[in-house]
Amino acid sequence: MKVVVCDPIHPKGFEVLKKASDIEVVDASKTPKDELLKVIEDADGVITRSPTPVDEKFLSHAKKLKAIVRAGVGVDNVDIDACSKRGIIVMNVPTANTLAAVELTMAHILTAARSFTNAVWNLKKEREWNREKWLGIELYGKKLGIIGFGNIGSRVGVRAKAFGMEVIAYDPYIDPSKATDLGCKYTTDFDEILKCDFITIHTPKTPETINMITKKEIEKMKDGVVLINCARGGLYNEKDVLEGLKSGKIRWLGIDVYEKEPTTNHPFFDVENTSVTPHIGANTIESQERIAIQAAEAIIEALRGSSYPNALNLPINTANTPEWVIKYLELSQKMGYILSQIINEPIKKVKISLSGDISKEDKSVLTFALVGLLKNITDNVNYVNAEFLAKEKGIDTEIIKTKNDTYKNLVSIKVITDNGEYSISGTMLETHPRVVEFKGFDLEFEPKGKMIFFKNTDVPGVIGEVGMTLAKYNINIADFRLGRNQEGQAMAVIIVDDKVNEDVLNELRNLKAALSVAYAEI
């Protein structure tokens, strides 16, 4: 499968891509955009950043495209609706740059309090010693209003509290306890935010948030208010903010994002009471490395069909779906994908058993499980057509809601064929996905990596023989999980570092105690 990297990413991302034996990597990060259209014609997946517009023109050339990863948070450059119509999954990397954005926000807050950038420039470039001119204010005791209390906003709140600030959070889409548990105040009254000494915004750019701060809101603010925006350009009305800066109503503006980017000639650059940075919120070495790695892993998983991390055009409203539910849906797809790789015969029926609160999401679980399960049967399965394709291929589906005394939530998938049954069950242990049953054996493992499933008669010496066989092929064992039943049989899930070929699997099958051997990758 061909992956085209359209814009520069950290070298670690290329390392991840090149290690995937089923991925052909094309580095088009330095290719002119008009020539890029030819490069993507046979691409299965692309990784982009903001310089590449994924619009109708782009999509009309990328006729084989199945998945797009925007290496970063914002997807302003991606026409998600057009992608959805073509069945192309769009993903982003929303949390990799969280700490970088948080720390840049704090840098702007501190700069606003102490006119730091101006004092540095005045001394270094103008060689003036003006201690009296740069009289600042302290953060201690000041009120910080945070608009948007998600991954970034909440962490800004924690750090601001460490400076002794009083933090007030406004976010109609969170449970108030998310703020109060951190010692912050939660409000549904936006005017309460407008009364704060400092105001910072951490929301996506949507019709609801564009121009969230205009002249009307500024008039309600304290004289000498400080505004910070390290989120997206256009959340504050730039013309109205400029007017407030010039009048002194706004003491300081710290800004990293603009309505039109890139820009080197902006009115904000001409006023003294601003700290301006060129959209560097994600620009740390650590952040860029995380973004590249996560983007590479996401495109690989998407093209393999095992999962679609942080997909933005799923058949569920991810903005209003609790994160724990999304994790179970992803786990369901991964479990289906594992079964798809070990079943080599026609599927007659798929039975989904659910217990706990996740049973309320029964239709979504079925859809995600089918997407994973049908991946090796058809190459055009997606969340929209999964159930239709299953019916087309004569696969019956059934959903059962049960009770389970062991796990708070449990998802079980049973696949029935003419020759037998294949089952797999999973849950979340804290925030970690775990398979807890496989083909009737109780055992626990993370559905990730290169997995050998080795069923054998439960006799002494088997583990040693398996280890010696793998060592013969220089295959390192990363993890070894074992389950046993009452019939004198055992099932091992062996996680290995290296890809396993048929020669290795056949040699394992020839071991005296072996009953069955299968292999799967996620």
Of 181, 190, 202, 178, nearest to 105 (Cα)? 202
CA angle 42–48–50, rounded 5-degree value: 140
Q: Could you report the per-residue pLDDT of 54-106, keeping only the tens digit for each? A: 999 999 999 999 999 999 887 888 998 888 778 888 999 988 899 999 999 99
pLDDT at 308: 81
Q: For all residues of the chain together, what is the average pLDDT? A: 93
The 10 Å Cβ neighbour count of residue 288 is 22
Q: Do domains 98-276 and 317-443 have the same CATH topology?
A: no
Active-site choice (279, 290, 330, 446): 279
- Where exactly are the structural domains of the chain? 1-95+283-313, 98-276, 317-443, 449-522
Amino acid at 5: V
In which band, very low, low, confident or very high, does the pLDDT at 393 lie, cut at 50, 70 and 90? confident
pLDDT at 86: 83
Sheet with 166-170, strands from edge to edge, namely 185-187, 166-170, 143-147, 198-201, 225-229, 250-255, 274-276
pLDDT at 398: 96
Active-site choice (138, 261, 286, 345): 261
pLDDT at 310: 82
pLDDT at 451: 97
**Least reliable range by pLDDT among 196-205, 354-363, 388-397, 427-436:** 388-397
In which band, very low, low, confident or very high, does the pLDDT at 295 lie, cut at 50, 70 and 90? very high
The residues pairing with 477 across neighbouring beta strands, listed in sequence order, are: 496
pLDDT at 332 over 60: yes
pLDDT at 319 over 70: no
Residue with tokens 């945070």: 146
Query: The dihedral of CA 342, 346, 351, 357: what is its sign?
Result: positive
pLDDT at 383: 76
Question: Which helix (H) or strand (E) segment is 169 a member of?
Answer: strand 166-170
Quote the CATH superfamily of domain 1-95+283-313.
NAD(P)-binding Rossmann-like Domain (3.40.50.720)
| Topology annotation, domain 98-276 | Rossmann fold (3.40.50)
- Residues 413 and 439 sit within 8 Å (Cβ to Cβ): no
Amino acid at 112: A
Q: Could you report the per-residue pLDDT of 430-449, keeping only the tens digit for each? A: 889 999 999 999 999 999 99
Q: Which residue has the higher pLDDT, 310 or 137?
A: 137
- Residues 339 and 331 sit within 8 Å (Cβ to Cβ): no
Q: Which architecture characterizes domain 449-522 according to CATH?
A: 2-Layer Sandwich (3.30)
Q: Which residue has the higher pLDDT, 207 or 295?
A: 295
In which band, very low, low, confident or very high, does the pLDDT at 352 lie, cut at 50, 70 and 90? very high
Half-sphere exposure of 442 (CA within 13 A, CB side): 4
pLDDT at 318: 59
pLDDT at 138 over 80: yes
The 10 Å Cβ neighbour count of residue 6 is 25
pLDDT at 344 over 90: no
Active-site choice (232, 251, 290, 304): 232
**Mean pLDDT computed over 118-137:** 95
pLDDT at 503 over 70: yes
pLDDT at 379: 59
Distance CA 371, CA 384 (A): 9
pLDDT at 380: 61
pLDDT at 474 over 90: yes
Buried-exposed string 41-77: b where 16+ CB fall within 10 A, e elsewhere: eebbbbbbbbebebeeebbeebeebbbbbbbbbbbeb
**Mean pLDDT computed over 315-343:** 85
Does 279 participate in catalysis according to the annotation?
yes
Residue with tokens 């548990």: 181
Does 232 participate in catalysis according to the annotation?
yes
**Least reliable range by pLDDT among 129-133, 342-346, 479-483:** 342-346
Distance CA 440, CA 424 (A): 8
In which band, very low, low, confident or very high, does the pLDDT at 307 lie, cut at 50, 70 and 90? confident
The residues pairing with 428 across neighbouring beta strands, listed in sequence order, are: 433
Rounded to the nearest 10°, the torsion over CA 268, 273, 278, 279 is -100
pLDDT exceeding 90 applies to what percent of the chain? 81
Does 261 participate in catalysis according to the annotation?
yes
Chain centre to alpha carbon of residue 329: 14
Distance CA 399, CA 404 (A): 15
**Least reliable range by pLDDT among 281-285, 320-324, 398-402, 446-450:** 320-324
Distances (CA, A) of 314 to 45, 219, 490: 17, 41, 38
**Mean pLDDT computed over 504-520:** 96
- Residues 382 and 371 sit within 8 Å (Cβ to Cβ): yes
| Topology annotation, domain 317-443 | 60s Ribosomal Protein L30; Chain: A; (3.30.1330)
- Residues 384 and 315 sit within 8 Å (Cβ to Cβ): yes
In which band, very low, low, confident or very high, does the pLDDT at 317 lie, cut at 50, 70 and 90? low
